[in-house]
Chain A
Amino acid sequence: MTSHSLKEKYLLYKVRYQHDAGAYGLLYDAYVDKIFRFVLYKVSSVEDAEDITAEVFLKSWQFIRTTNKRVSNLNALLYRIARNAVIDYYRQKKRQDLPLTDEDQYRDIVDSRDVERDIDLKLEVKNIERALDRIKDDYREVIILRYVEDMSINEIASIINKSKSNVRVLLHRAIKRIQEILSE
């Protein structure tokens, strides 16, 4: 389901005006993987990522149902809510920065994922993940949104509430940082 497809609009309509849980279930199916992934790379703990993702979908439901504004981009809405949820999560945990690379936590993430790949690839991916873990949250965010979730600059700008040029600069710097880490 693309974000501007008729089907999505129709499901949103059903959610908003008919409080149709079934329709919302379908939207959940379309977005749950993405939102989980996004949150996971921010919090590095599968359990927390699951909890936060669950909260994101509940909050989105409330928002769609009660807002006066038209929800024209569900994709952006979900990511925005996810971002805010992670921020709240950190406030609760009283953390200012990203958690330090924790080998045990890291292993949890890799082992508990439903990924079918051969060993070589796994190693490579581990590398990139380690690198991602080490960069700033701002950098990591734009990299994930751009290169994992295939979002446009426009969409990213709307999600993180920054200008387009800002996003481009962040992306450039983020990739540079990753390169530096990988060549260490």
Chain B
Amino acid sequence: MEKIFKQLEDLKNVKPREDWVRANREVLLAQISSQGPVRESSFFGILNFIRMLVPAGFVNFLAKPFGVVTVAVLFVLGSGAFTVNASKSSIPGDILYSVKLTSEKVQVGLTVSENKKTALHVDFAEERINEIEQIAASTIDVTEKREKISIAADNFKDSLNSVQESFDKVKTTKAEKDVINRSIEVVKQVDQKVEAIALRLTNNESLKSDAAVVKSIDSAKAEIAETQVKAVEVIVDKYDKGEIELTSEELVETVEAKIKQVGDKITAVAERERTEVTSTDVETSTVITDSPESVNETVESSDSSSSETVVVAPADSESAQRLLDEASSLLNQGDLINALEKLKESSELARQYEEVIQQKIEELQSAVPTTDPVSDTSSEVTVEPETLPEDISVEPKAQSEL
């Protein structure tokens, strides 16, 4: 008797032919794919999914008034799929924020396609930016804002890291040409999306008020830049291996666009250096001298040679720009791989340059309000710290302080 059951159990090993299974799968998927486009999920789509998870009777239960109250109570107590929905609008610091992040991770976990996972990571990165904008616009106090923005920015960088990892996967995957092409399409779309995010961050004035917030945002933007460089890297690599169809013009265009982006960034940082670092540098050197005469002289001399008082950092605009020019010329010669290498170096240097300048600005901003060196030289001088940075070129006022 037992033998019978054992033998029956062994029948589990009966399987169809592997090649038939595979072939049939392809045929099946081809047949069903040809039956119509994939519908994008909408709000009602999500609602339907949740309905699928929930026993049928529950939906009717909800229609009744006391059903609504019960659900509201559940929101507060937190249980299951409904909490996930409620957490969607939360920001760092909220109780449900961890639920939000977890549900995002679950979504990624349930996704099978690598391309779709990548798209999800980008969506979630965007959501972090939404949160940051919301926090910046709110009326909570500065310390709290800093904290929350920092959390959101860190999570943002994590999401982009995941995107970069998936780019690496694309690089190393060997697959059919059309599969690779689709992956490259995703890479391009990601590049555009993160570019748009960078623009949002740059244009948001409310993010520029506090130094710590600016630092968080800058590190987020640096991560974006890295992602974009990686995107180009993947595209060039695949092209080089002959795995994608891209005209050489398109490729050159892509790399050129990146070169321009990095160039713009270098220019922007140099501009900041000129206006915020140089001028404050001059003023600092002015107030530190002891004798009134030398103050005069310093003001005059620094006025005529303000560019010489700029401290040249190892990571500076010239070096970064030089590398960029090299990248450009290599590109013109058709040497894509080396052009990309130079581009990467330039981008890295530009990032360091930006960090250095940012640091200098912070130091100067914190140094200026507290020191009052002029009062050492003359007891009658009253200096208004807040106005110092603006006063640099107004010699008469400087003279009157003596």
Contacts and interface: CB of A to CB of B under 8 A. Distances in A.
Chain B binds chain A: yes
A78 interface: no
Given A25-B25, A58-B32, A125 B11 contact: yes
A117 B5 CA distance: 17
A124 B8 CA distance: 10
Given A13-B52, A50-B20, A117-B13, A147 B5 contact: yes
Interface string A71-96: 00000000000000000000000000
A119 interface: no
A40 interface: yes
A121 interface: yes
Nearest to A49: B16
A156 interface: no
B174 interface: no
B14 A9 contact: no
B25 to A, nearest CB: 6
A21 B33 contact: yes
A70 B56 contact: yes
A162 interface: no
Interface string A1-44: 00000110110110011111111111011001100110010000
B175 interface: no
Q: What is the interface residue range for chain A against chain B?
A: 35 or more
Given A32-B21, A58-B31, A148-B12, A128 B7 contact: yes
Contacts of A148: 8-9, 11-12
Contacts of A33: 15-16, 21
B17 A114 contact: yes
B28 A58 contact: yes
Contacts of B38: 18-21
Contacts of A175: 1, 4
Given A17-B41, A19-B36, A9 B53 contact: yes
A112 B21 CA distance: 13
B49 A121 contact: no
A20 to B, nearest CB: 6
A143 B25 contact: no
Contacts of B112: 22-23, 26
Nearest to B33: A21
Q: DSSP majority for the B interface?
A: helix
Contacts of A13: 48-49, 52
A10 B110 contact: yes
Contacts of B25: 25, 28-29, 32
Nearest to B26: A25
Contacts of B3: 124
Contact of B32 (A7, A24, A129, A147): A24
Given A17-B45, A22-B112, A179-B1, A147 B9 contact: yes
A113 B7 contact: no
Contact of A115 (B8, B14, B20): B14
Given A10-B110, A25-B25, A117-B13, A18 B33 contact: no
Q: Which 6 A-B pairs have the closest CB atoms?
A: A147-B8, A128-B7, A36-B16, A21-B33, A13-B49, A148-B11
Interface of B: 1, 3-5, 7-18, 20-21, 24-25, 27-29, 31-33, 35-41, 45, 48-49, 51-53, 56, 110, 112-113
